[in-house]
Amino acid sequence: MADVTKITNGSLIGAEMVNGTNVYNMAGEKLGEVDDLMLDKKSGRVIYAVMSFGGFLGMGEKQHPLPWSALTYDEGKQGFVVNLDRQKLEQAPTLDDYENFEWTPDFGRTVDRYYGAPTYW
């Protein structure tokens, strides 16, 4: 695989460039950063951003899927903003052991409900 594409031009952005983007709450506190995007295979639409939160050097870190519709990109901050306080995030659904994570429609609905997002499932 070649070097990562770093393009952002006008209305387009490379997925590799989205990864690592900071996520802030409405108070401007950094909650975490985007680690990956979950796509619908058929439509190619991003359904969730996977955000890593807390921990140190990858240890003790939690992975949270956030519905894409709950994220707003803030050009000034160069990051995503989500209406979510730290406390709510601490209780949010996580992707435990996610190399082997079994993502069920029930889990998806739980995530969507938690963030009050229109459900994909």
Residues that bind a copy of itself (CB under 8 A): 1-7, 9-16, 18-20, 33, 35-48, 50, 52, 55, 58, 61, 63, 68, 73, 95, 98-99, 101-105
**Cβ neighbours of 81 (radius 10 Å):** 20
Nearest approach in angstroms of CB 103 to a copy of itself is 3
CB closer to a copy of itself, 27 vs 46: 46
* Spatial separation of the C-alpha atoms in residues 19 and 15, rounded to whole Å: 7
* Maximum Cα interatomic distance, the chain, rounded to a whole number of Å: 40
Nearer to a copy of itself, 2 or 27 (CB): 2
Q: Residue 27 or 99: which CB sits closer to a copy of itself?
A: 99
Nearest to 29 by CA among 65, 66, 75, 83: 83
**How does DSSP classify residue 69?**
G
The DSSP call for residue 54 is S
Q: How far is the CB of 91 from a copy of itself (least distance, A)?
A: 20
Between residues 3 and 27, which has the closer beta carbon with respect to a copy of itself? 3
The answer to whether 65 touches 43, Cβ cutoff 8 Å, is no
> What is the closest distance, in whole angstroms, from the C-beta atom of residue 93 to a copy of itself in the complex?
14
